[in-house]
């Protein structure tokens, strides 16, 4: 039976079309040019290389350039969230109906996560934020990150679902027995993506976790006009 819901943050709780994650990426590029001194035309390639080898640009910077992680995290997340995100009452209502303990599991940092949750108006639903600091920079898709979260929750993998927009982040969760849900605005086969379900936005979550038979849907009040 599902008891816990683990949620990625960026491009999962809000849609990629918001442009926020792209804007964060642009700030990462700026950081690499302005603060680290990389040539602008080599930044994207370097980020890709660090992403492959270390999981995040930050871990590449920590390993090879010894940057101050707090300085980096503050710089890349220094954006006016209100320009990108709107309160999401439908998400708030859906989360209220899901009878599981909910936590954020993100490679970003908690101050950013809390600002996003606040802007979306859904912070009240989440009992914990497992962020890059809490994970001691051992981040997704490193299997130890997932085990850390399970241990902290006192949960077994099959008691959890995990929703993320990155297929590679879902594979370690699957190996631990979690119910895996991929967010993909483009059509993707769940079988090919090696996940249990694919949804095109977070509001589709309720249907797939209840249809899985592992979660009893909350009883909804009668629709207005029918009572």
Q: Which residues bind Mg ion (CB under 5 A)?
A: 8, 10-12, 165
- Find the shortest distance in angstroms from Cβ 15 to Mg ion: 11
CB of 8 to Mg ion, least distance (A): 4
CB of 11 to Mg ion, least distance (A): 4
The span from the CA of 10 to the CA of 112, in Å, is 10
Shortest distance, CB of residue 182 to Mg ion, whole angstroms? 11
CA distances from 87 to 20, 81, 106, 116, 150 (A): 14, 11, 20, 10, 30
185 within 8 A of 15, measured Cβ to Cβ: yes
Q: How far is the CB of 135 from Mg ion (least distance, A)?
A: 15
Which residue's CB is nearer to Mg ion, number 121 or number 141? 141
Shortest spacing between CB 47 and Mg ion, in angstroms: 15
If the CB atoms of residues 116 and 150 are measured against Mg ion, the closer one turns out to be: 116
Q: Which is nearer to Mg ion, 11 or 159 (CB)?
A: 11
Q: Which is nearer to Mg ion, 15 or 209 (CB)?
A: 15
Q: What is the sign of the dihedral through the CA atoms of 150, 162, 14 and 218? A: negative
In the complex with Mg ion, the residue whose CB is nearer, 24 or 61, is: 24
Which CB sits closer to Mg ion, 8 or 196?
8
């Amino acid at each position: 039976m599902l008891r816990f819901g683990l949620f990625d943050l960026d491009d999962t709780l809000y849609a990629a079309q918001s442009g926020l994650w792209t804007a964060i990426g642009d700030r990462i590029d700026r950081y690499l040019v302005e603060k680290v001194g990389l040539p602008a035309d080599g930044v994207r390639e370097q980020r890709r290389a660090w992403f492959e080898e270390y999981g995040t640009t930050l871990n590449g910077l920590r390993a090879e350039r010894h940057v101050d992680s707090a300085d980096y995290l503050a710089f890349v997340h220094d954006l006016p969230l209100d320009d990108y995100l709107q309160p999401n009452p439908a998400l708030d209502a859906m989360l209220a109906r899901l009878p599981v303990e909910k936590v954020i599991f993100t490679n970003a940092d908690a101050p950013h996560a809390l600002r996003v949750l606040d802007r979306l108006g859904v912070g009240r639903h989440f009992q914990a934020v497992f962020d890059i600091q809490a994970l001691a920079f051992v981040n997704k898709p490193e299997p130890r990150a997932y085990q850390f979260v399970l241990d902290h929750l006192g949960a077994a993998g099959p008691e959890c679902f995990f929703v993320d927009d990155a297929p590679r982040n879902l594979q370690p969760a699957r190996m631990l027995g979690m119910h895996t849900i991929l967010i993909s605005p483009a059509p993707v086969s769940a079988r090919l993506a090696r996940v249990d379900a694919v949804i095109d936005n977070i509001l589709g979550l309720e249907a797939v976790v209840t249809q899985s038979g592992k979660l009893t849907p909350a009883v909804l009040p009668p629709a207005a006009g029918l009572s």
